[in-house]
């Protein structure tokens, strides 16, 4: 169920260039079932910044009643968020949307998790859950450069991990699709999150038979009421049918929506 | 009688607080969060004769204390609204105000005629002011004669009272208000969004795919208050006020300006529980302050003290 | 040439950033804080033929990301501005843009004729849009024919180029802009404030003694950007843009929308050093990004890429 | 000279109902000469609340490079201010305006300091400075009730102190003018700060030959440039002459301006 809660910050730290890891505590964590869902954060109580910010759940710690997000401090809202300290409270709405289906893969099979930049965080939660299900996980992660990369060790601990950076400062020089080709990455199910060009490239260069992609879109409500975040389904690319990224997504089976 | 119980043409409101059109869909999503029976009414998303996808994305952008939207009247079309959405909403004991839109006058007439026959639709809200549709839309709300004519035509076919939603993007809003009153409008809702724009600093291009969009939220509140203040002194029909409301104080401000009920738009995105929260706060307020009826507050800013008769009553 | 050096009718600007009229008085107070020689120009407080006290207080109120003012054109009158203020300002190597106002067309003509003869006054800015004066003022800026006639009359007597300051409180700002262009305006400044109101929750009455006031500050920025975007595509004269600017990004946004220079109003109250700060940031920006000339940015949001000719050039 | 500085909060504490005492440190303190001047505070860096808040200097600690303000947390800005903690920084513009003239009274003479509510704070600084000049000080302070009263001991330490509250919960029941009458307070110079009705009553019931009053007015710039804060001088009550509360005031000789 979707809940709204003033959650308490347990810790916040910078883990890469402009990248922050923030852990919060509260009852809302109990609702966090599927990896790949997101929370909608109200940064402060005033009128500016006005809108909530959608951020993926990066890790759930059910036994502690805590969860972690990883985000890039870029604009006004995330910059203010990065200044919050342990003990302060944040208005969290969530969990929202539909995540990565765990049941789409069976134990013993291989999942390929491909992430780019701030698309990487939800894959961490996903990878942990898949591991619990005895799924074999391969990670292919892309970043701008070494400075902006994060959670590399954590991913390595969970499974094979290939990296690509635009400047070659970490892993191979190039994009995640280059890494997939170069290391002949293959699996049963693809799970991907990252910028649209990356997802488009993956639609072509799909290292698995089936797959799921997580989309980003500017949002108003985050719950499906305002029609801000719609996209066209592939079977009606110019028509009046639609999917809402916030409530039908953010995760869609590859091929379901027009990227 | 509960001091919050408000009677407006066609509408028996448990309380004078309702979600604004386009910010609440057809209620399904919010019904997962709280019991919609708490609401005074529901203004549903604009309905057009045909289904519409609306504008390309991005459709929203944030601005200082406000937001821009260019949804472009996306809706499932008249048929589906009547067959799917309104029947679903009939489970709630809440009057529905159907927001209707179109490109041509005929569109409005078509939607009005059909939708006003649905049981739980207690009033229509003519959206003659949406800045996000390229044809028709905008002009209807800016030329008094056209606004009047449209109101008349819709009144002829509607089974329920007709409220006209005014655009703030005009030189003289009183003129438009008077025109729709003359056209037979039973009430006015105001304000719709102000036409605005944001440019993406990184690309140098408009951030919204549509270029311009409608500005809403706290930023526009002073404009809404001013316009309601002006219009309420010049018409005899009630006003449902909106534009930036996000607190109890804001609701009071709109009543003092001249509103008889209020609608809440953008604030639903910031706090999805805002409507029931403010309804509870308003109830506490009238109880604590011994206010016999909320209508006492309407127009207080311009009513002569000690003399409660005024042109709008 | 320094990429920030901008030439506009009558104006040689070291840089395209200047304080907006009414937010900087006649410069005396800010001169205690920094060297006014840094400014691109100074738009002085509106001058009327006779001295004016303006409206009763309170004259300002805060709103979400904005403020309302109803100063009411307080100024020492034409004589004193010419005898005291302008000579004092002549110690700075900064062009003065004299904002002029009045109740009748004759007032504008009187002030224009006299003030345009003062040496350091390099341009006039016709304030046909102040929402805080009861007679004249508001109508001049909302009726194209009147705006055009006023522009013409002032042009006839002015020794320096004439910029007309547009009101955003209109249905169709392009129409007004074209009218003043036809009337002979050398440039446009926009936007003035939006008519707004705030009600004091404790009294139920308007917070400003004047009732309504002019809304300015970041809240109005999306409206200013939209209007400049529209107008700049339809006139051939340059625009000095204003309305909520408080950062380098804002300045870029106004240029992309279609401005050739910018003015800063309300932000001077929030940070009295804002003008020199933003000038320095803008210089760093053009230097760091290898921009040959700031005018390259003007209208980028609507110019066809790779095709730099556009109607406004 | 007027300066703008990001000053560091040294301490903040609630000292009465909704009343906070805040001490800040920085170079700007060196400019604080005359008591009764004020600072203009930017509460946060965003756009809401937008305007600065004018608050009187309540005490200057030159040797520490610190100064103290006392304010009521009422609206949005002061409420946010009250949440700030030691170590945080605030954008201060000041010192602004003209304060209480110390040279208007000679050592050995008696000053009557009359304050109401949040008009009391600047009188504390004034009283300390007058004491240093060997002026005899009498305080007459009015509050709504005991709960909202503050600094009573500090004033008592400096000189005779009479109190009035609206409900009689502290001192006499009534207004400061009632206390002045009841205790036959008299002196050479009156210094007053408080609500307009109080100042008006004092104009009539002046316990001294001469006097100075500090005014409040809604402000824009705070430095004299925007004409938001004007008032009429008494010699031209309906004309075009004016005084600016922010830069000509906030302190005026009694009788100079129309209250
Ligand atoms: C489902 C979903 C999950 C996301 N998960 C993460 C995550 O785990 N980590 C992370 O760093 N980022 C994530 N993002 C992107 C994140 O929402 C934006 O970076 C953030 O909203 C930008 O806010 P800001 O204050 O920095 O920027 P501002 O420019 O101040 O934002 C202004 C407005 O634009 C919106 N906006 C700006 N950029 C984006 C964007 N890329 N996507 C959606 N809205 C945007 C903001 O939400 C806000 O409404 C996710 C986005 C979505 C839709
Ligand atoms: C010269 C001067 C000295 C002052 N000294 C003190 C002091 O020492 N302690 C103290 O508690 N208060 C003092 N005040 C009053 C103080 O400025 C206001 O209480 C404060 O600005 C209210 O801000 P807010 O955020 O609580 O209210 P909001 O209602 O959020 O304020 C909205 C706007 O109105 C203005 N405003 C509201 N009330 C007043 C007021 N009474 N006077 C002037 N502007 C107002 C605010 O500055 C702001 O611009 C002083 C005022 C002036 C002019
Ligand atoms: C995302 C969004 C969609 C809207 N859609 C409609 C609509 O379909 N019909 C309509 O009349 N108004 C629509 N509006 C305008 C609102 O109903 C309301 O008039 C306006 O937003 C001002 O109120 P607010 O500031 O509380 O949001 C929409 C507003 C927003 C923000
Ligand atoms: C206090 C105040 C006084 C103003 N006085 C004038 C004036 O005398 N003449 C004028 O043309 N505009 C006047 N303006 C409007 C500004 O010049 C400017 O157009 C407007 O405030 C929008 O810019 P901003 O958002 O940067 O303030 C005034 C604005 C403010 C806030
Ligand atoms: S963000 Fe409102 S429908 Fe998706
Ligand atoms: S506040 Fe601007 S002149 Fe006084």
Longest dimension (CA), chain A: 51
pLDDT of residue B305: 59
Q: To the nearest whole number, what is the mean pLDDT of chain D?
A: 96
Q: How far is the CA of A76 from the centre of ligand 1 (A)?
A: 11
Choosing from C216, C239, C259, C267 the residue with most ligand 4 atoms within 8 A of its CB, the one to mutate for a pocket test is C216
Question: How far is the CA of B297 from the CAs of B174, B226, B238, C201, C226, in angstroms?
Answer: 21, 16, 13, 11, 36
| Minimal-distance CA residue of chain D relative to A83 | D88
Q: Which of residues 107-146 of A touch B (CB under 8 A)?
A: none
pLDDT digits (tens, 9 = 90+) for B44-60: 999 999 999 999 999 99
Is the shortest distance between the CB of B47 and ligand 3 below 6 Å?
no
C-alpha count within 13 angstroms, C-beta hemisphere, residue C198? 25
Distance from CA of A48 to the nearest CA of C (A): 7
| Residues of A whose CB is below 8 A from C64 | 47-48
Question: How many CB pairs below 8 A link C and D?
Answer: 109
**How close is the Cα of C224 to the center of ligand 4, in Å?**
13
pLDDT at residue C288 tops 70: yes
Among A74, A228, A237, A249, the residue to mutate for chain B (most B Cβ within 10 A): A228
pLDDT given for residue B312 in this prediction: 34
Q: What are phi and psi of A13, to 5 degrees?
A: -150, 150
Kindly state the tokens that stand for B274: 């805002």
Residue tagged active-site, from B130, B170, B242, B264: B130
Residues sharing a CB contact under 8 Å with residue C263, sequence separation 6 or more, in sequence order: C17, C18, C19, C20, C21, C43, C189, C240, C241, C242, C245
- What lies within 8 Å, CB to CB, of D147 at 6+ separation is D16, D17, D169
Distance of CA C1 to the CA centre of its chain: 26
Inter-chain contact A218–B77, Cβ cutoff 8 Å? Answer: no
- Average pLDDT for residues C99-109, to the nearest whole number? 93
Share of chain C above pLDDT 70, in %: 94
pLDDT digits (tens, 9 = 90+) for C4-20: 999 999 999 999 999 99
Q: Do B198 and C225 touch (CB under 8 A)?
A: yes
B174 in Cβ contact with B231 (< 8 Å): yes
Of the given ranges (C17-21, C26-30, C100-104), which has the lowest mean pLDDT? C100-104
Q: Give me A8's structure tokens.
A: 């308490």
Tell me the torsion sign for CA atoms A85, A89, A90, A93.
positive
Q: Which two tokens stand for residue A53?
A: 């910010």
Q: Which residues of D are annotated as a binding site for FAD?
A: 53-56, 70-72, 77-78
Residue D70 is predicted with a pLDDT of 98
Residues of C in contact with D218 (CB under 8 A): 57-61
Cβ(B127)–Cβ(B151) below 8 Å: no
ipTM over 0.90: yes
Give tens-digit pLDDT for D22-49.
Answer: 999 999 999 999 999 999 999 988 999 9
pLDDT band at A146 (very low <50, low <70, confident <90, very high): very high
**Number of Cβ within a 10 Å radius of residue C236:** 10
Distance (Å, whole) CA A32 – CA A103? 16
- Looking at residue C130, what is its pLDDT? 65
Contact B219 C64 (CB under 8 A): yes
What pLDDT was estimated at residue A13? 98
Given the candidates 3.40.50.10540, 3.20.20.70, 3.40.1280.10, 3.40.50.920, the CATH classification of the domain at B6-304 is 3.20.20.70
- Pull the structure tokens for residue D185: 């307070």
pLDDT (0 to 100) of residue C312: 34
Q: Write the DSSP symbol of residue B300.
A: T
Q: Where in chain D is the domain with CATH 2.40.30.10?
A: 3-96
Cβ C219 vs Cβ B65: under 8 Å: yes
Of all protein residues, the one whose alpha carbon is nearest to atom 29 of ligand 3 is B22
SS3 track for C185-244: CCEEEECCCEEEECECCCCCCECECCEEEEEECHHHHHHHHHHHHHHHCCCCCCEEECCC
Angstrom distance (rounded) from CA C247 to CA C274: 8
The sign one gets for the Cα dihedral B145, B150, B156, B162 is negative
* The token pair that represents A141 in the structure block: 């992660």
What pLDDT score was predicted for residue B129?
Answer: 78
- Enumerate the CATH 2.10.240.10 domain ranges in chain D, comma separated: 215-258
Give the start-to-end residue ranges of the domains of chain B: 6-304
* A229 annotated ligand-binding residue: yes
Is the CB of A184 inside 8 Å of chain B's CB atoms?
Answer: no
| CATH number of the structural domain D3-96 | 2.40.30.10
C130 part of the active site: yes
Phi first, then psi, for residue B311 (nearest 5°) are -55, -30
| Candidate from A227-241, C292-306, D41-55, D229-243 with smallest mean pLDDT | C292-306
CATH number given to D101-213: 3.40.50.80
Atom of ligand 2 nearest to the CA of D73: 26
CB A228 within 8 Å of CB B77: no
Instruction: Find out whether the beta carbon of D219 lies less than 6 Å from any atom of ligand 6.
Output: yes
C305 pLDDT more than 90: no
Is D259 an 8 Å CB contact of chain C? no
Give the DSSP letter of residue D111.
Answer: E
> Do you find a cis peptide bond into B137, omega within 30 degrees of 0?
no
pLDDT in tens, D105-158: 999 999 999 999 999 999 999 999 999 999 999 999 999 999 999 999 999 999
Q: In this predicted structure, what is the pLDDT of residue C132?
A: 58
Tell me the best of A229, A242, A248 to mutate to test the pocket of ligand 5, counting ligand atoms within 8 Å of each CB and taking the most.
A229
For the record, the structure tokens of C256 come out as 């992309």
Q: Whose CA is nearest to atom 7 of ligand 4?
A: C22
Q: Whose CA is nearest to atom 35 of ligand 1?
A: A218
Q: C101 CA to middle of ligand 6, Å?
A: 21
Nearest residue (by CA) to ligand 1, atom 36, is A218
Residues A228 and A243: their CA atoms lie apart, in Å, by 11
Distances (CA, A) of C41 to C27, C80, C95, C247, D141: 11, 21, 5, 18, 49
Q: Is B210 exposed, middle or buried (0-12, 13-18, 19+ CB in 10 A)?
A: buried
Compute the distance from residue B265 Cα to the ligand 4 centre, in Å.
30
pLDDT at C119: 97
Are C226 and C233 spatial neighbours (Cβ–Cβ below 8 Å)?
no
Phi and psi at residue C146, in whole multiples of 5°? -70, -40
Q: Tokens 């008009």 sit at which residue?
A: D119
Residue ranges of chain B whose pLDDT lies below 50: 137, 306-313
The helix/strand count (H/E) of chain A reads as 5, 16
D240 has pLDDT over 70: yes
Query: Which structure tokens are listed for A77?
Result: 């809202």
The two counts, helices (H) then strands (E), for chain D are: 5, 16
User: What CATH topology corresponds to D215-258?
Assistant: Dihydroorotate dehydrogenase B (pyrk subunit); domain 3 (2.10.240)
Nearest residue to D142 (alpha-carbon basis) of D163, D125, D118: D163
Backbone conformation region of residue B27, classed left if phi is above 0, alpha if psi is from -120 to 50, else beta: left
Question: Which atom of ligand 1 has the smallest separation from the CA of A246?
Answer: 1
Q: Give the global pTM.
A: 0.97
When pLDDT is cut at 50, 70 and 90, the band that residue A127 belongs to is: very high
């Amino acid at each position: 169920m979707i809940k709204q809660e003033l959650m308490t910050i347990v810790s916040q730290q910078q883990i890469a260039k402009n990248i922050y890891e923030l852990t919060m505590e509260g009852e809302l964590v109990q609702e966090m079932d599927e990896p790949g869902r997101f929370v909608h954060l109200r940064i402060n109580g005033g009128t500016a910044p006005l809108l909530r910010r959608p951020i993926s759940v990066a890790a759930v710690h059910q036994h502690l009643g805590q969860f972690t997000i990883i985000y890039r401090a870029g604009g006004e809202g995330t910059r203010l968020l990065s200044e919050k300290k342990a003990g302060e409270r944040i208005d969290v709405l969530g969990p929202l949307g539909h995540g990565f289906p765990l049941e789409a893969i069976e134990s013993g099979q291989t999942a390929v998790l491909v992430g780019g930049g701030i698309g990487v965080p939800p894959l961490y939660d996903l990878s942990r859950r898949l591991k619990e299900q005895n799924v074999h996980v391969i990670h292919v992660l892309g970043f701008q450069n070494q400075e902006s990369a994060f959670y590399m060790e954590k991913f390595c601990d969970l499974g094979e991990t290939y990296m690509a950076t635009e400047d070659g400062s970490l892993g191979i020089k190039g994009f995640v699709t280059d890494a997939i080709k170069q290391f002949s990455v293959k699996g049963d199910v693809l799970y991907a999150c990252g910028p649209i060009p990356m997802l488009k490239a993956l639609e072509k260069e799909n290292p698995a038979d089936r797959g799921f992609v997580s989309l980003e879109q500017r949002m108003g409500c985050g719950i499906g009421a305002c029609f801000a975040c719609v996209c066209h389904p592939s079977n009606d690319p110019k028509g009046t049918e639609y999917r809402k990224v916030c409530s039908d997504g953010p995760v869609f089976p590859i091929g379901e929506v027009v990227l | 009688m509960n001091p919050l119980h408000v009677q407006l043409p066609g509408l028996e409101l448990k309380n004078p607080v309702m979600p604004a059109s386009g910010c609440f869909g057809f209620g399904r999503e919010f019904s997962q969060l709280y019991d919609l029976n708490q609401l005074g009414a529901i203004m549903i998303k604009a309905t057009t004769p045909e289904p519409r996808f609306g504008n390309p994305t991005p459709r929203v952008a944030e601005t200082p204390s406000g937001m821009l939207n260019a949804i472009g009247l996306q809706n499932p079309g008249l048929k589906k609204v009547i067959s799917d959405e309104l029947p679903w909403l009939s489970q709630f004991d809440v009057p529905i105000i159907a927001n209707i839109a179109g490109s041509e006058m005929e569109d409005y007439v078509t939607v009005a005629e059909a939708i006003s026959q649905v049981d739980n639709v207690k009033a229509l809200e003519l959206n003659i002011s949406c800045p996000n549709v390229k044809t028709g839309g905008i002009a209807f709300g800016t030329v008094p004669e056209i606004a009047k004519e449209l109101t008349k035509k819709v009144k002829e076919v509607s089974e329920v009272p007709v409220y006209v939603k005014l655009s703030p993007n005009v030189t003289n809003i009183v003129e438009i208000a008077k025109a729709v009153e003359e056209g037979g409008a039973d009430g006015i809702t105001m304000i719709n969004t102000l036409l605005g724009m944001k440019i993406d600093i990184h690309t140098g291009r408009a951030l919204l795919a549509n270029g311009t969009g409608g500005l809403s939220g706290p930023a526009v509140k002073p404009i809404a208050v001013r316009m309601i203040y002006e219009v309420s002194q010049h018409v005899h029909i009630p006003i449902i006020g909106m534009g930036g409301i996000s607190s109890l104080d804001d609701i009071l401000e709109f009543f003092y300006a001249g509103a008889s009920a209020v609608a809440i738009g953008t604030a639903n995105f910031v706090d999805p529980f805002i409507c029931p929260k403010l309804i509870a706060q308003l109830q506490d307020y009238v109880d604590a302050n011994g206010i016999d009826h909320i209508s006492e507050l309407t127009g207080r800013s311009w009513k002569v003290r000690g003399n409660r008769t005024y042109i709008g009553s």
